[in-house]
Amino acid sequence: MSIKDNLSAIHTSLPENVSLVAVSKFHPIEALQEAYDAGQRIFGESREQELETKAKSLPHDIRWHFIGHLQSNKVKYIAPYISLIHSVDNEKLLKEINKQAEKCGRVIDCLLQIHVAQEETKFGFTPDEFKQYLSEGKHTELRNVRIRGVMGMASNTDDTSRIHSDFKTIRELFFYAKSTAFATDDYFDTLSMGMSGDYEIAIGEGSNMVRIGTAIFGQREY
C-alpha cells in the first residue's frame, strides 16, 4: 500500500472529532511530500534538527508538532514555528518554552506529557506530579504558553487490558484538569493518545488526537 492508501484507510477508521498527526520522524522529505499531496497537514517530529531541515523544504501551511523528548537548550530553535509541543515533561521545560515564545512574540500551544507506562525510560509527569503542579497554579503565570491538554503513551505490551487501563488513567487526568485548573478555559481540549499499534484502543478510551507513524510511512530506519 502507498502512503496515500495508508492515510485514507486510517482516515476512514477515525471518528470525525479525532485529529491525525502523521509521525514522520526518520522518514525522508519525499515521504512527507507524498502525505502532503494526499492532503495531510499535521506532521509530528521528534528531533529539532531534523524538523528544521524538513520545515525549510516543505510547504509552509504544514503544522509541525513536536512529539519527542525536548531538551531545554533546543527550544529556541523550534519556538518560531512549532504549532504544538506534545511532550512537555517537566516544569523547567515549560518555563523555557514560555521564555522563547515571548522572544518570538508568540503563544505556543503545549500538552503536558503524563507518565503511566511501565517502561522506565518514558518521560513525563507522574499522575501525582501532574496534579501537584496544576494545584500550585504556577502555570497561570506563563503568558506565552497555552496548555491545550495532555499527551500520554500506554505501556508497550500485548496485554490489552493494561493498555486500556493506561489510557484510562491518562483520560481521567485530562478530565480532572479540565474540571479544576482549566475549568474556565475552553481551549483545554486536546487528549493526545494512541500510536500505530494502539490507536483504536486509545480512541475507545477518549483520545481526540492520534500520533501515527509506522501505519502511514512503514518501518523507520534508525
Q: Interface with ligand PLP by CB under 6 A: which residues?
A: 23, 25, 46, 67-68, 195-197, 211-215
Which of 17/214 has CB closer to ligand PLP? 214
Residue 84 CB, shortest distance to ligand PLP, in Å, is: 12
- AA identity, residue 34: E
Which of 25/181 has CB closer to ligand PLP? 25
Residue 45 CB, shortest distance to ligand PLP, in Å, is: 9
Closest residue to ligand PLP, judged by C-beta, is: 213
Cα–Cα distance between 127 and 170 in angstroms, integer?
8
Which of 127/197 has CB closer to ligand PLP? 197
Residue 196 CB, shortest distance to ligand PLP, in Å, is: 3
Residue 153 CB, shortest distance to ligand PLP, in Å, is: 6
Q: What are the DSSP calls for 37-77, one per residue? A: HTT--EEEES-HHHHHHHHHHS-TTPEEEE-S---GGGHHH
Q: Residue holding cell 511530500? A: 33
Cα–Cα distance between 149 and 58 in angstroms, integer?
28
Are 108 and 81 contacting, i.e. CB atoms less than 8 angstroms apart? Answer: no
Which of 138/220 has CB closer to ligand PLP? 220
